[in-house]
Structure 1
Amino acid sequence: MPFIDVPPSSNPLDTAPLRVHYQISTPTDSVASAIDPSLPCVLFLHPLFFAAETFHDQFGSPSLRQFNLIGLDFRVHGSTFGEVWKGFALEDLGEDVSRFITALDIPPVHVVGLSLGASAALWLSINHPSQVASTTIMSIFSPRELPEVAAGRAEIARVWLDGVEQNDMSAYNDAAFGSIQLFFGDQSIDKARRLAQYYSMPQDLAQWNDAATCERIRILGVDTVVTRTVVTTADLAKITSPVLVVHGENDLAYPTSTATDLKSLLDEAGVKKTKLTLIPDAPHFCSVHASKEINALLSSWVLSNIPESSKPLSLPTDVVSPWQAGLYPADDPMEVESSEEEDDE
């Protein structure tokens, strides 16, 4: 995955360029150095504690690889290092994404956000509508953070800090298990363990390894989410792109009313094209658990929001996710659960 330097924002606390780690996959190249300019761009924004590899199943889907797929690691996630200051807001995260789009010099994107990424995607669509061709919001946070969910995130951050201070791998594992419980429940455990063991744990150990760096993820994972500004209908009225709202019906963190209420607010705000899809039996990380359904939904959504002249002529064949080898290594000690193997589309 390459890097790109994103200049600081206008926030006086944002004093240094952000070196963003990102991935581009095209129909013919899993690890591409540039987009295919003839094809639409789909930008994936990941959730808290995990990075771009969360969208492994999407990047390995032929129905989605007919487009340019782009994933980036947020600051203090994956391989994107950076400062997170006291008072860091969702606005700061959204500006990172906007400036990334500008730095990469790509056309308006079909932005797809999951969890924290969904909030960033919605913020981008409100505040930089010219950069967005369509918006997909998956597993959006409640308008005001639920106390029990905030407490769960705070506990994960506290246990991770215990691991750092005591050099205790069991504490790291407990923190990882806590995040899996919050985001997956007892579903798709094989996929969850692979994401945690082969990607997020090694990346997080490199990112959050002393009191100062642990404070960065605590601020972003707890304070930023809890203190975020409630989105109003006046805010939503600034959106010019079509909006798809997706929510898993077995989300342990946020009820389906979070999604249905957002759909109603979008309609009340006059957003011209909106759609709500509830995924039966899916947890918070719905795109990981129900990847076959999500991939078909996203592909259809993007195709419905591009002109005929921009639509790809055919689906690619034999596509491979850029994270395939890392998640399923040749000397893999894990047993693959047959029901959770990648979908052939």
Structure 2
Amino acid sequence: MPHVDLVSGDDYVSIWYTTNTRYNSVSTFDPTRPTVILLHPFSFDSSWLGNILGDPGLDGAYNMIAFDLRYSGKTRERPNGKLDCWVQAADLGFACEMLHVFQAHVWAEEALSVNIALRFAMLFPDMCLSLALVTASPPAELQNVSLAMNQFVRLWCFADDLSALDRAASKFLELTVHVGLGLGVDEIDEVVAHWQTQYPPFRRARVVGIRNLILNRVPLTKSQLATICQPVLILHGENNTMHPLEHAQQLKEELVNSKVTLSVIEGAAGFMSISPSCAPILSQNYVNFLDNLLPHSNHTDSMESDRMNRALARLGELAGDPGIIKRDPSSPMSFSLVPPDVEREQTEAFNLFFRGMNKALSPLRPDGRPEHKPRQQPMRAAVHGYGNKIVALDDER
């Protein structure tokens, strides 16, 4: 099975991945092709990356591997109050090393994946060739987003019937994918069916885990962002109200040592890759971006025993805490920068939501499918009818 198991004394995670190879294995990657790592939007998983994985311009020229993040898809984890985006960046480093993917371009979508990708570039500069950031989030979530997300978590996790669950889903749809994407009724049903399958109230600890990661993240500092030197492409929707365009422009200015291209997609909002009209435009821009990078030779280095020690040393420098180097380099949790008070809060949240979880509402039928129309396969990009276009392609720095 395509899993990477990371086991240590204080942590356990089994990370699911999928590839664009015939047998879904990295062992069949073409050694002459560069590799692209795909990180999905939060509240979704790698099965929703079909518009990108299946794009002819990328599929025909690159090895591609998509990971399910913690609390997503088929990845299985032990809930932990210490989990943050630094830990998930370390997850990616461990997984790539175990799979012998020693260099790759990184494609990341929405707040959670973008924050993970930025940290991955800092911790593992030798493994990260470039960054494509689809929707640049603010350093911390805006107050209205935080309030709406907390409200959704309470309504969804403690819904006592399907009507209450539908009301909660409607609120989250308004906050995320419903505004600006132009999805049809069937596509919206697919989204809700996914949430009901992956995050039903009787698995509500997964919802709390994502909420903690999104809302409790510690903003990156200007000095930390200045350590990123890889080329960066930022793709941002013009009408994104959840994460306004100004934050993409701000991130571009703060990546002072990177060659940054900012592409603004007219009429688009967030979660663009799941939109059949937006996804081809994203892919086209990404192919152009990759084609314009300086060529590099494939790196086939062997696994390095000190790579994680060096990453911990970098983390200590980034955090201004030299004591971090003394942590266990075999555990992703050693990369956590969660403050003690936040760790206690997050652990208490897990404990609260665990109570009665196995007796909570199930929106699934006896066969495990949701009451809403079940998703058969990821939505694919439309071959015509591009309703969105690029309105600004800033000069590269």
Q: Fold conserved (TM > 0.5)?
A: yes
Give me the whole-angstrom Cα distance separating, in 1, the residues matched to 2:245 and 2:181: 18
1:293 aligns with 2:281: yes
Kindly report which structure 2 residues correspond to 1:58-73, keeping only aligned pairs within 5 A, or say none: 58-66=52-60, 67-73=62-68
> Following TM superposition, by how much is the alpha carbon of 1:192 offset from its aligned partner in structure 2, in angstroms?
4.6
Match of residue 110 from structure 1: 105
Q: 1:248 aligns with which of 230, 237, 243?
A: 237
Give SS of 1:74's match: coil
1:134 aligns with 2:126: no
Give SS of 1:63's match: helix
Change in 2 beyond 3 A, CA 1:230/1:186 = closer
Change in 2 beyond 3 A, CA 1:301/1:50 = same
> Following TM superposition, by how much is the alpha carbon of 1:148 offset from its aligned partner in structure 2, in angstroms?
0.8
> Following TM superposition, by how much is the alpha carbon of 1:51 offset from its aligned partner in structure 2, in angstroms?
0.8
> Following TM superposition, by how much is the alpha carbon of 1:134 offset from its aligned partner in structure 2, in angstroms?
0.5
Q: 1:147 aligns with which of 143, 147, 170?
A: 143
> Following TM superposition, by how much is the alpha carbon of 1:237 offset from its aligned partner in structure 2, in angstroms?
2.4
Q: More displaced, 296-305 or 171-180?
A: 171-180
Change in 2 beyond 3 A, CA 1:54/1:70 = same
Give me the whole-angstrom Cα distance separating, in 1, the residues matched to 2:46 and 2:183: 19
> Following TM superposition, by how much is the alpha carbon of 1:226 offset from its aligned partner in structure 2, in angstroms?
2.7
TM-score (norm 1): 0.79
Letter in 1 for 2:377: G
Q: More displaced, 87-96 or 290-299?
A: 87-96
Change in 2 beyond 3 A, CA 1:36/1:89 = same
Q: Does the 8 Å contact 1:40/1:68 carry over to 2? A: yes
1:307 aligns with 2:295: yes
Q: Does the 8 Å contact 1:88/1:220 carry over to 2? A: no
Q: Does the 8 Å contact 1:194/1:327 carry over to 2? A: no
Give SS of 2:5's match: strand
Change in 2 beyond 3 A, CA 1:147/1:299 = same
Percent of counterpart pairs with the same letter?
24
Match of residue 170 from structure 2: 177
Q: Does the 8 Å contact 1:19/1:80 carry over to 2? A: yes
Letter in 1 for 2:382: E
Q: Does the 8 Å contact 2:180/2:268 carry over to 1? A: no
Q: Which runs of 4+ in 1 moved over 4 A?
A: none
Match of residue 18 from structure 2: 23
Deviations 1:107-150 (A, max 9, x none): 31110111111111111112221110110111122012211111
Change in 2 beyond 3 A, CA 1:57/1:341 = closer
> Following TM superposition, by how much is the alpha carbon of 1:288 offset from its aligned partner in structure 2, in angstroms?
2.5
Match of residue 382 from structure 2: 342
1:283 aligns with 2:273: no
Change in 2 beyond 3 A, CA 1:194/1:343 = farther
Give me the whole-angstrom Cα distance separating, in 1, the residues matched to 2:187 and 2:85: 26
Match of residue 208 from structure 2: 218
Letter in 2 for 1:303: D
Match of residue 69 from structure 2: 74
Give me the whole-angstrom Cα distance separating, in 2, the residues matched to 1:173 and 1:2: 33
Letter in 2 for 1:69: M
Give me the whole-angstrom Cα distance separating, in 1, the residues matched to 2:105 and 2:25: 19
Give me the whole-angstrom Cα distance separating, in 1, the residues matched to 2:381 and 2:49: 14
Give me the whole-angstrom Cα distance separating, in 2, the residues matched to 1:37 and 1:198: 38
Change in 2 beyond 3 A, CA 1:53/1:195 = farther
Aligned-pair RMSD on alpha carbons?
Answer: 2.5
Letter in 1 for 2:50: H
1:203 aligns with 2:193: no
Change in 2 beyond 3 A, CA 1:327/1:113 = closer
Q: 1:36 aligns with which of 30, 40, 43?
A: 30
Q: Does the 8 Å contact 1:133/1:305 carry over to 2? A: no
> Which ranges in structure 2 are unaligned for 5 or more consecutive residues?
299-374, 387-397
Give me the whole-angstrom Cα distance separating, in 1, the residues matched to 2:113 and 2:167: 24
> Following TM superposition, by how much is the alpha carbon of 1:216 offset from its aligned partner in structure 2, in angstroms?
4.2
> Following TM superposition, by how much is the alpha carbon of 1:309 offset from its aligned partner in structure 2, in angstroms?
7.1
Give me the whole-angstrom Cα distance separating, in 1, the residues matched to 2:252 and 2:270: 18
Give me the whole-angstrom Cα distance separating, in 2, the residues matched to 1:176 and 1:55: 21
Give me the whole-angstrom Cα distance separating, in 2, the residues matched to 1:48 and 1:104: 24
Letter in 2 for 1:96: D
Q: Does the 8 Å contact 1:84/1:220 carry over to 2? A: no
Q: Does the 8 Å contact 1:5/1:103 carry over to 2? A: no
Corresponding pairs, count: 301
> Following TM superposition, by how much is the alpha carbon of 1:325 offset from its aligned partner in structure 2, in angstroms?
5.2
TM-score (norm 2): 0.69
Kindly report which structure 2 residues correspond to 1:40-51, keeping only aligned pairs within 5 A, or say none: 40-51=34-45
Give me the whole-angstrom Cα distance separating, in 1, the residues matched to 2:271 and 2:92: 21
> Following TM superposition, by how much is the alpha carbon of 1:197 offset from its aligned partner in structure 2, in angstroms?
4.5
Give me the whole-angstrom Cα distance separating, in 2, the residues matched to 1:180 and 1:56: 20
